[in-house]
Amino acid sequence: MSSNIVMVGGSLLSFVDGFSFQERQDIMNSLALAQYSADKHLESDALLVDWFDLFSESLMAVGWEVDEDMRSEWPDTGVFYSLEEAVLDGLKYVNQASLRAALQHSIEMLKLDKVSQDIFESRNRNGALAHYQFVPCEHRKDLGSYMFVSGMKVKSRVNLDNIFINGKKIKTDDALDVQTACSGFYLKTENYNPYRDVVLQKMSEIGDDFFKNLKQ
């Protein structure tokens, strides 16, 4: 499978083939703005459901629609021994094989890119608390651009250098408490067109360093 992987702030966005350049830019920019808006208006210790609601509202304000069938009503909770394990467990909510493959591939590429891995960790983590978003995206004829967003709030019980990939076997008592909220979103280009210039104007607050391509 071929996919393009971009770090958008604290989100790991992976594209399945089939998007135009403009469609990719629209997705990256609207995702960045939604994440930036949620981060800006809520404290890092805010409830995950509050963060995810504000994130979703920001997407809908620029033309995205929610796939209600894929939206979690309340964050799922679990105990894991690596964030990778928690992310892969979240695949149980994803029915589409292409999205599952894109998400798995993005994790494998992140594991091979030490520089991006360190940036991803530093952007998302504050001490023992961290937030991560994993976003596989594919093109669908009827819905346009479709992305599945898995948002996670993670608290480590020990002082790990790297929550995502720790580089060693974590002892069974060194667990991660993970909350996961997810939803599907879809966007037709004609619905985004009226907002494109507004999004680009607001993007000036964020800066180009908000984005980073992973090595392929």
Please give the helix or strand (H or E) that residue 181 lies within, else none: strand 176-187
Question: For the chain, how are helix, strand and coil distributed in percent, rounded to 5?
Answer: 45, 30, 25
Query: Which of 8-12, 86-90, 192-196, 207-211 has the lowest average pLDDT?
Result: 207-211
Report whether pLDDT(160) > 80.
no
Q: Residue 146 above 90 pLDDT?
A: yes
pLDDT of residue 1: 34
> Which residues 6+ apart lie within 8 Å of 55 measured at CB?
34, 35, 37, 38, 149, 151
Average pLDDT rounded to a whole number, residues 136-143: 89
Averaged pLDDT, 161-189: 70
Q: Is the pLDDT of residue 158 over 80?
A: no
H or E segment at 180?
Answer: strand 176-187
| Residue 128 pLDDT | 77
Percent of the chain with pLDDT over 90: 34
> Do strands 3-8 and 176-187 pair parallel, antiparallel, or not at all (unpaired)?
unpaired
Q: At 169, is the secondary structure helix, strand, or coil?
A: coil
Digit-coded pLDDT (tens) for 30-70: 999 999 898 888 777 778 888 889 999 999 999 999 998 88
Provide the pLDDT for residue 205: 78
User: In this predicted structure, what is the pLDDT of residue 168?
Assistant: 45
- Average of pLDDT values for 183-191? 94
Tell me, what's the pLDDT at 164? 53
Please report which confidence band the pLDDT of residue 162 belongs to, taking 50, 70 and 90 as the band edges: low
pLDDT mean over 114-124: 83
Mean pLDDT of 11-39: 92
- Condensed to tens digits (0 to 9), the pLDDT of residues 82-118 reads 777 888 887 777 878 899 899 989 988 888 888 888 8
Average pLDDT, the chain: 83
pLDDT computed for residue 213 by the predictor: 79
Q: Which domains does the chain have, with CATH numbers?
A: 3-202 (3.40.198)
